[in-house]
Amino acid sequence: MINTTTWGEIQGQAITFPMEVEELRAATVLWSVPAAAAAALLPGDAFEVVEVAPGTAQLVMAAVDYVRNPWGDYDELNLGFLARPAGAPADVIGSFVYRMPVNQAFTCEAGNRVMGFPKTVEDLTATYTDAAVSFRLAMGGRHVLTLTLPRAEATGPAERVEATSYSYLDGVPYGTDLSMDMGTGFVDASDVVLELGDSPVADELRSLGLPGAPDVAIWGEGLSATFLLGRPI
């Protein structure tokens, strides 16, 4: 039996952990980017980027459509890098999320207050055809990006991975432990289309050398995840 902890209430809804997400769809796309440019996007000095090769960091873009989630049926875009707390041993590797736009207010407030995630409410939509999915993000009325990729069929059961998501909000660094299904629908890099708009956040991504072909792209449907309570570190 799993012991649950109640954090408190937000908008009259009890916030409990572990938080079980019963169903989600997700695209995970990775790009090799200059480590110096990645480090320039990390706030403060609490974290450092992981170099996957000398002078090279890895950008992680996760576009998520939460279908059944205690915090709502919302869309989310995670922008971050493989990173670790500053001074941590080399074998400590997580994903630092420096931007996390969502399209619903409740998850934004809960993510900020409970987990220390830098969530903001933005114009984010997921659009499906039988063959493909597109995530479009606009901020302040300006197009940031549109990510389009095939809805690749799974090649086998989803792989459950354990990870730590790092974040930084209001001057406080956080770590959130989680386990999540990773999709097994591998996408050919040439089939991934990333369009960048005319916004400052789009220019951030250009500073990393995007758009361009990713190293890896994965799609999954019918996935699930478990989040533990975020903690200051």
- Cis check: omega of the bond before 211, within 30 degrees of 0: yes
Measured CA distances, 77 to 25, 35, 59, 146 (Å): 12, 21, 13, 11
N- to C-terminal Cα separation, the chain: 28
CA 106 remoteness from chain centre: 18
- State residue 140's pLDDT score: 96
User: 33, 61, 69: which is closest to 146 by C-alpha?
Assistant: 61
What are the φ/ψ torsions at residue 37 (nearest 5 degrees)? -70, -35
Three-state SS at 118: coil
Q: According to the model, what pLDDT value does residue 2 have?
A: 58
53: DSSP letter: B
Q: CA torsion, points 219, 99, 226, 180, in degrees to nearest 10? A: 30
| CB distance 27 to 152 below 8 Å | no
Which stretches in the chain have pLDDT values below 70?
1-2
Contacts of 133 (CB under 8 A, 6+ apart): 25, 27, 65, 126, 127, 148, 149, 150, 151, 219
* Cα angle value 70/66/176 (rounded, 5°): 70
Domain 16-232 CATH (choose: 1.20.120.1630, 3.20.20.60, 3.40.50.1370, 2.40.400.10): 2.40.400.10
Which residues, 6 or more positions from 129, have their beta carbon under 8 angstroms from its beta carbon? none
Structure confidence at residue 1 (pLDDT):
46
Query: How many angstroms separate the CA atoms of 55 and 33, rounded?
Result: 9
Q: What is the pTM of this model?
A: 0.95
* Mode of pairing for the β-strands spanning 142-150 and 132-139: antiparallel
Torsions phi, psi for 8 (to 5 deg): 155, -155
pLDDT of residue 4: 87
CA distances to 76, 99, 106, 210 from 61, rounded to whole Å, are 11, 10, 22, 12
